[in-house]
Amino acid sequence: MKSFRKELFFNIPDRVGFINITPQVEQCLKESGVKEGLVLVNSMHITSSVFINDDERGLHNDFGKWLEGLAPHAPTSQYRHNDTGEDNADAHLKRTLMGREVVVAITGGSLDFGTWEQIFYGEFDGRRKKRVLVKIIGE
């Protein structure tokens, strides 16, 4: 069995944003040489997410609006986590809602997606460098 590991780095200039990282994951798959197996893609930060959905701008706007409604950033004083001097409690909650990682099957050397599925990095406390782990195992 082969094993491949690579880190991807992102620095979103805004507090919240979504990036389609499918092409980077496909490049990792190509580098790995794995034809049958699994790929794990996970955020290595507790205020960002990796998830699968459709690459449609309106949907991404809906995600932002929905998440802000569930866990608004302001007022920051509403969160006990922020009593420590932080201002990102909402980002931790948003990450919990959107998830930490995805696992995708690899079949015939390709990511085995359903219709419209793509992999996204979701940022909820941006403006600094963060990383995503891609781990591929298989034959």
pLDDT tens digits, one per residue of 23-74: 999 999 999 999 999 999 999 999 999 999 999 999 999 999 999 999 999 9
pLDDT tens digits, one per residue of 75-85: 999 999 999 99
The kind and range of the H/E element at 4 are strand 2-10
* pLDDT over 70, % of the chain: 100
Average pLDDT along the chain: 98
* Measured distance CA(12)–CA(127) in Å, rounded: 5
* pLDDT over 90, % of the chain: 100
Q: Which domains does the chain have, with CATH numbers?
A: 2-138 (2.60.120.460)
Give the per-residue pLDDT at 34. 98
**What tokens were used for 19?**
């990036």
